[in-house]
C-alpha cells in the first residue's frame, strides 16, 4: 500500500520567519525557544530551516537560546524509560563518558535544540545535565557562569535571561516544557536531592534543588488566563510568546499555593 502524501502545510525558512514576525518576535531580542519540529507541518529543510527561520526573525543583533539538556548523564538507578538491570548500574557508572559541551548530544528536547547546539558559532553552558545552547551576540552573556551544582536556578542561564528581559517562545511545545517555571522552584521552599552523574574525575554525587514539571500544564493554563500571553500559529504549530520574568513571577506565587514545599517530590 503506497504511503499517503503529507497533509502539510508546506513550511519554509521564509514562511517561518514571516510567521514568527507576525506573532511578535522582534529583531534584536533574546529568545528562549522550546520547540516541536513535528508540530509545524511539512518543513522543507527540517530543523535546519527552522533554525534559519528563527535567526532570520531575530536578525543579526538577536540571540537564540534553547535547552540543550543531557539527562541521560544520570544515575542508572533512577532510569525508567527504559530501566536497565540492577547488575548493570555499577559498570555504567564506571564507564559513562563525562559531559563535554562540544560533543555530548542533547537528549529529550528534540531535534531543533540539537541543531542549534551544533550550529556554527554556537556556545553551550557548563551544567552536565541541564545546559543551554545559544547563537548570537549575547550568547556568552547568557551562558557564562552556569554553576555545575545549579541545574535551573539563580546560577543558571534562566536567571540571566530573566535579567536581560528575554522572552519565551513555545513553538509547538506545551507548558510542561517551560524551563522558566523551574527557576521559580528555586525561590520557594523546596527539598534537596542527591544527584549522581559522571564527572571529570569519575562518578560524582552533588546536592541539587529538587525540580519537577508536575502540574506545569495546570500552571501554564492559569498563567495564560491571568497574564498577557501572545498566541498564534506558526506553520501548523500553536505558538505562545511571553516574558521570562512574567513566567517566573507567576509560577512562584502559583507553586506556593498549589504545590507547597514542592509536595516533597
Q: Write the DSSP assignment of 47-61 as a string of letters.
A: HHHHHHHHHHHH-TT
CA separation, residue 64 to residues 61, 112, 187, 246 (Å):
10, 12, 26, 19
Model confidence at 168: pLDDT above 80: yes
> What is residue 259's predicted lDDT score, i.e. its pLDDT?
80
Model confidence at 209: pLDDT above 70: yes
Model confidence at 263: pLDDT above 50: no
What is the Cα–Cα distance from 151 to 176, expressed in whole angstroms? Answer: 17
Confidence band for 261, pLDDT divided at 50, 70 and 90: low
> What is residue 264's predicted lDDT score, i.e. its pLDDT?
40
**Residues 6 or more apart in contact with residue 29 via CB below 8 angstroms:** 58, 62, 63, 166, 167
- 72-109 pLDDT per residue, tens: 999 999 998 889 999 999 999 999 999 999 999 999 99
> What is residue 262's predicted lDDT score, i.e. its pLDDT?
43
- 192-208 pLDDT per residue, tens: 999 999 999 999 999 99
- 9-57 pLDDT per residue, tens: 999 999 999 999 999 999 999 999 999 999 999 999 999 999 999 999 9
Whole-model pTM: value is: 0.94
Q: Name the residue with cell 502545510.
A: 9
Amino acid at each position: 500500500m503506497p504511503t499517503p502524501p503529507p497533509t502539510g502545510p508546506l513550511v519554509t525558512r521564509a514562511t517561518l520567519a514571516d510567521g514568527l514576525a507576525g506573532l511578535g518576535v522582534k529583531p534584536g531580542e533574546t529568545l528562549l525557544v522550546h520547540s516541536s519540529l513535528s508540530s509545524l507541518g511539512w518543513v522543507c529543510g527540517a530543523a535546519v530551516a527552522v533554525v534559519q527561520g528563527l535567526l532570520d526573525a531575530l536578525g543579526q543583533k538577536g540571540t537564540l537560546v534553547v535547552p540543550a539538556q543531557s539527562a541521560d548523564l544520570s544515575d542508572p538507578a533512577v532510569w525508567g524509560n527504559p530501566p536497565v538491570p540492577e547488575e548493570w548500574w555499577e559498570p555504567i557508572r564506571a564507564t559513562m563518558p563525562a559531559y563535554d559541551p562540544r560533543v555530548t548530544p542533547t537528549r529529550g528536547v528534540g531535534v531543533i535544540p540539537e541543531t542549534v547546539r551544533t550550529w556554527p558559532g554556537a556556545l553551550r553552558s557548563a551544567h552536565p545535565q541541564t545546559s543551554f545552547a545559544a547563537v548570537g551576540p549575547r550568547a556568552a552573556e547568557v551562558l557564562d557562569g552556569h554553576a555545575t551544582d545549579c541545574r535551573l536556578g539563580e546560577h543558571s542561564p534562566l536567571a540571566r535571561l530573566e535579567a536581560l528581559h528575554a522572552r519565551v517562545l513555545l513553538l509547538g511545545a506545551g507548558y510542561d516544557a517551560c524551563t522558566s517555571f523551574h527557576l521559580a522552584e528555586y525561590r520557594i521552599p523546596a527539598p534537596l536531592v542527591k544527584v549522581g552523574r559522571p564527572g571529570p574525575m569519575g562518578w560524582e554525587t552533588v546536592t541539587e534543588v529538587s525540580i519537577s514539571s508536575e502540574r506545569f500544564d495546570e500552571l501554564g493554563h492559569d498563567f495564560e488566563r491571568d497574564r498577557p500571553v501572545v498566541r498564534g500559529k506558526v506553520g501548523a504549530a500553536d505558538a505562545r510568546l511571553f516574558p521570562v520574568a512574567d513566567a517566573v513571577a507567576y509560577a512562584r506565587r502559583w507553586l506556593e499555593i498549589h504545590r507547597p514545599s514542592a509536595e516533597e517530590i
